[in-house]
Structure 1
Amino acid sequence: MTVMSGMSGMTEMPGMVRTVLGDIPPEHLGVCDAHDHLFLRSPMLPGQELDDPAAALGELTAFAAAGGNAVAQWTPWGMGRRMADLPELSRRSGTHIVAATGLHQARHYDAAELARLRDSLAEMFVHELTEAETRAGMIKVAGAFHHLDHHTRHVMAAAAHAHHATDAPIGIHLEGGTAALDALDVLCGTHGVAPHRVLLGHVHRFPDPAIHRQAAETGAFLVFDGPSRAHHGTDWRLMDSLAALVDAGHAHQVLLGGDTVTANARSTADGPGMSFLLTGLRPRVERELGADVATAIFVRNPARAFAVNWRDTLH
Structure 2
Amino acid sequence: MSSVRTVLGDLPAERLGVCDAHDHLFFGSPRLPGEELDSRSAARAELAAFRAQGGDAVVQWTPYGLGRRAADLPSLAREAGVHVVAATGLHQDVHYDGATLDGLRHRLAEVFVTELTEGIGTSGVRAGLVKVAGGFHALDAHTRWTMTAAAEAHHATDAPIAVHLELGTGALDVLDLLCGELGVPPQRVILGHLNRAPDGVAHRQAAEAGCWLAFDGPSRAHHATDWRMPEAVRALADAGFGDRLLLGGDTTTAAARSVDGGPGMPYLLRRVRPRLALAVGEELVARILAENPGRAFGVEWR
With normalisation by structure 1, the TM-score equals 0.93
Q: Which structure 2 residues correspond to residues 65-104 of structure 1 after superposition, within 5 A?
A: 65-104=52-91
Partner Cα distance (1:108, 1:228) in 2: 23
Aligned residue type for 2:117? T
Verify the 8 A CA contact 2:129 2:159 in the aligned structure 1: yes
Report the aligned-residue RMSD. 0.8
Q: 1:116 Cα deviation (Å)?
A: 1.6
Q: 1:229 Cα deviation (Å)?
A: 1.3
Q: Which runs of 5+ in 2 are unaligned?
A: none
1:200 corresponds in structure 2 to 191
Helix, strand or coil for the counterpart of 2:288? helix
Q: Which structure 2 residues correspond to residues 259-270 of structure 1 after superposition, within 5 A?
A: 259-270=250-261
| 2:267 counterpart of 1:280 | no
Candidates 213, 238, 263, aligned match of 1:247: 238
Partner Cα distance (2:279, 2:149) in 1: 41
Aligned residue type for 1:162? A
Q: 1:230 Cα deviation (Å)?
A: 2.2
Partner Cα distance (2:229, 2:179) in 1: 27
1:119 corresponds in structure 2 to 106
Q: 1:286 Cα deviation (Å)?
A: 2.2
Shift >3 Å, 4+ stretches: none
Q: Which runs of 5+ in 1 are unaligned?
A: 1-13
2:42 corresponds in structure 1 to 55
Partner Cα distance (1:120, 1:228) in 2: 38
Aligned residue type for 1:57? R
What is the percentage of aligned positions where both structures have the same residue? 62
Partner Cα distance (1:308, 1:114) in 2: 29
Q: 1:27 Cα deviation (Å)?
A: 1.3
Verify the 8 A CA contact 1:228 1:260 in the aligned structure 2: no
With normalisation by structure 2, the TM-score equals 0.97
Verify the 8 A CA contact 1:29 1:299 in the aligned structure 2: yes
Partner Cα distance (1:288, 1:241) in 2: 10
Verify the 8 A CA contact 2:22 2:249 in the aligned structure 1: yes
Candidates 9, 13, 16, aligned match of 1:29: 16
Verify the 8 A CA contact 2:231 2:279 in the aligned structure 1: no
Candidates 288, 297, 312, aligned match of 2:288: 297
Equivalent residues, number: 298
Q: 1:23 Cα deviation (Å)?
A: 0.5
| 2:174 counterpart of 1:183 | yes
Comparing 223-232 with 302-311, which one deviates more in the overlay? 223-232
